[in-house]
Amino acid sequence: MTLPSPVFRAVATCVVPEAGRLASAQWDEMEAIVARAIAARPRAVQRQLALFFILLEWLPLLRYARPLSRLDPARRTRFLDRLQRAPMLLLRRGFWGVRTLILMGYYGRPAVAGEIGYRADTRGWEARR
Amino acid sequence: MSASRSYDIVIIGSGAGGGTVAQELAPLVRDGVRILVLEKGPRFADQEFTGRELEMADALYQDGGAFLTRDGTMTLGFASAYGGSTVVYTGTSLTAPQRVIRAWGVPGLQHGDLTRRSAKYAEQNNAHLLDDPLINDNNRLFVEGGRKAGYLVEQFPVNVKGCRGSSLCNLGCPNQAKQGTNRVQLPRAERAGVEVVTRAEVLRIEPDRTMTVRVSQKAAATKGAPSEWAPGDYQVRARIVVAAAGAIGTSALLLRSRLPAPRSLGHGFTCHPALILVAEHPHPITNDVGHPKSYFVDHAESERFVLETCMYFPFVTAKSLTGLGATHSAIMHAFPRLQMILILACDHAAPGNRIAVNRTGSPIVHYRFTPETIDGLVRGTRAAARIFFAAGARRVHAPADPPLLETTDADHLEERVIARHFRPGMLAVSAAHLMGGCAMGRSAADSVTDGWGQVHGIPWLRVADASLFPDSLEINPYLTIMGLADRVAEGVRRDLAIARD
């Protein structure tokens, strides 16, 4: 499946607000990580994800009369917050999957370790002395 | 046309179970017994363990660590590599509790016998208590907070040799300090003449004891050595087969094989569902350096949970936190001040929780959280929060609404941490202690194997991994797997002696 970039970025900036400050190359890096992860999943999972991205984009029409990618950030966040507590397991699970991919893309970038102060080193204690 | 090979004993899998059986049977090679170990994963060179999170997860774990249960509410972590999941565990070395073995009620399986066998491997793999100077703040705070909060905090023996404290155990030790089967039992077996073939997946076992084995090619730009055999399909025949491909791997293999296996095959799956809980301290602590898992609190019997110290990597930590947006980001940016605790729920075998296979033969794990398991997670979360606050944390991130528990919440944890916030699909539950599917027991009516791992009705087929557990073990399982595998090896030796006589 191809990652639907506008919806993905709209959700990503709600899940990780700092993603809004990423440069184009950093977005590409993040999306490449996510695309690789999706490509490694079974076909059925890929199909479910593609469907869920469509659902994510159009479900807000019912409440806000706009698709997700055209909502302002506050409404988008409120919508996603409701989705993660939805009574239907299918919706909660779908959002959890997309959220996990976004977090993988953002926090899986090597540069992020320095940004958040994660310093694990293969040399262990020796690297701290 | 596929090539044919013939052996006396074929061991499928090279983890805690397969590696142990290989070592124990290796002396038979001197007597002309041909022994083969087939491992689905590759053999990694020491320098390939880089500690980089996504790179290592992709290389070592099934589905990069994202193998999901059928309803998608839990991820299951298990490795495919020379050494199996012993490559990615933290080396915590506990023997089975007496009450658990007694409750299993497996005929012929005595707690004393199992403990004696497990202790042999604890010694062989250098399990010991780490010296105090090697304990980091993340672990020290758990001890201090736990004792202040009134819990009995115990230290894990860990099976390391020359640990440099990289904290990267779950991504494969970059310093080869962890004494898994890849470092101890398999090299010994190979030196004695046991043949180990990696990248070799057993697709099926036929009733005539022939296995269809697929050896895969090493893909370009991937880690691991090429297989010892040329890529392709093989027909491998054996007099005795020992399946030790892990709870999921072994159950799935037997399910897709055309064998007259007992009906309970695949049933009784348990896994210690786990949550990672994070707390923020006012000042930086040493957390991402040092052995990550040195202490635990065992409330399995009374409250169905075990707490363990832990320290994970940026992505795993991020996905384990609930919620999204600024609160989530603020916690992630406090990484140098984070303390972590792993909460393991002690689930029990429940109807419907089982391993099955789909039309292509791939494993599917059906798992539903029982109210008792959820209750274990809730109670464990409250206990972890008490420990965090007693250790001086200023806030705890937990499944709650809102997810941040402040110090003012410390006396109201019963109201703030409730089962409603632990609904499946709302939080990142994962499990790495995968158990059951080929349970030991009395007969084919109630189990898959006998107390020596021999499959009921198929005398040439034995199982030697955590799939043998009839129910949850309630502690970290590797030493128990090795103890059981030791019994399986003894059973194989007995069979061979009888055949010779």
Q: What is the pLDDT of residues B310-344, one digit of tens each?
A: 999 999 999 999 989 999 999 999 999 999 999 99
The confidence band for A2, taking pLDDT boundaries of 50, 70 and 90, is confident
Report domain extents, chain A. 5-128
B444, part of any domain? yes
What is the average pLDDT across B17-25?
98
Q: What does pLDDT average to over chain B?
A: 96
Any chain B CB within 8 A of the CB of A80?
yes
Q: Are residues B312 and B342 in the same domain?
A: yes
Q: Are residues B297 and B393 in the same domain?
A: yes
Rounded Cα distance between B245 and B41, Å, is 11
Of residues A40 and A121, more confidently modeled = A121
Q: Are residues B397 and B252 in the same domain?
A: no
- The total of structural domains in chain B comes to 2
Q: Are residues B105 and B231 in the same domain?
A: yes
Q: Are residues B407 and B329 in the same domain?
A: yes
pLDDT tens string B398-421: 999 889 999 999 999 999 999 999
- Which residues of chain A from 58 to 77 reach within 8 Å of chain B, CB to CB? 77
What is the average pLDDT across A12-30?
96
Coil, strand, or helix at residue B463? strand
Any chain B CB within 8 A of the CB of A117?
yes
Q: Are residues B79 and B116 in the same domain?
A: yes
Here the tokens at position A90 are 């299918």
What is the average pLDDT across B258-276?
96
CATH assignment at residue B64: 3.50.50.60
> Measured between CB atoms, which of B58, B288, B423 is closest to A120?
B288
Are B388 and B341 within 8 A, CB to CB? yes
Helix (H) or strand (E) holding A122: none
pLDDT at B174 over 90: yes
CB contacts of B400 in chain A (<8 Å) are none
Q: Are residues B262 and B304 in the same domain?
A: no
CATH assignment at residue B330: 3.30.410
Report percent pLDDT > 90 for chain B.
96
What is the average pLDDT across B213-236?
97
pLDDT tens string B56-104: 999 999 999 999 999 999 999 999 999 999 999 999 999 999 999 999 9
- Burial state string for B223-241 with b = 16 or more CB within 10 A and e = fewer than 16: bbeebebeeeebebebbbb
Report percent pLDDT > 70 for chain B.
100
Rounded Cα distance between B154 and B397, Å, is 24
pLDDT tens string B378-400: 999 999 999 999 999 999 999 99
What is the average pLDDT across B116-136?
96
What is the average pLDDT across B165-171?
97
Are B167 and A120 within 8 A, CB to CB? yes
The confidence band for B1, taking pLDDT boundaries of 50, 70 and 90, is low
Whether residue A93 and residue B71 make contact (CB cut-off 8 A), yes or no, is yes
Q: Are residues B101 and B26 in the same domain?
A: yes
pLDDT tens string B345-356: 999 999 999 999
Domain limits for position B96: 3-89+92-126+180-269+435-500
What is the average pLDDT across B13-18?
98
The confidence band for B501, taking pLDDT boundaries of 50, 70 and 90, is confident
Are B55 and B222 within 8 A, CB to CB? no
B101, part of any domain? yes
pLDDT tens string B428-439: 999 999 999 999
- Burial state string for B13-40 with b = 16 or more CB within 10 A and e = fewer than 16: bbbbbbbbbbbbbbebbeeebbbbbbbb
pLDDT at A44 over 90: no
The confidence band for A5, taking pLDDT boundaries of 50, 70 and 90, is confident
Here the tokens at position A78 are 């409120």
What is the average pLDDT across B137-145?
98
pLDDT at B58: 95
pLDDT at A33: 96
pLDDT at B349: 97
The confidence band for A41, taking pLDDT boundaries of 50, 70 and 90, is confident
Mark which of B428, B444, B474 sits at the end of a domain.
B428
CA distance B71 to chain A (A): 8
pLDDT at B388: 98
pLDDT at A89: 92
> Measured between CB atoms, which of A33, A113, A122 is closest to B175?
A122
Closest residue in B to A98 (Cα–Cα):
B319
pLDDT at B500 over 90: no
pLDDT tens string B185-218: 999 999 999 999 999 999 999 999 999 999 999 9
CB contacts of B139 in chain A (<8 Å) are none
Rounded Cα distance between B304 and B313, Å, is 27
Q: Are residues B295 and B384 in the same domain?
A: yes
B358, part of any domain? no
Q: Are residues B262 and B291 in the same domain?
A: no
Per-residue HEC secondary structure of B387-418 comes to HHHHCCCCEEECCCCCCEEEHHHHHHHHHHCC
Q: Where are the alpha helices (DSSP H) in B151-210?
A: 185-191
Phi first, then psi, for residue B318 (nearest 5°) are -60, -45
pLDDT tens string B443-479: 999 999 999 999 999 999 999 999 999 999 999 999 9
Are B239 and B287 within 8 A, CB to CB? no
pLDDT at A45: 86
pLDDT at B2: 78
pLDDT at B230 over 90: yes
Q: Are residues B250 and B186 in the same domain?
A: yes
Any chain A CB within 8 A of the CB of B221?
no
Q: Are residues B209 and B291 in the same domain?
A: no
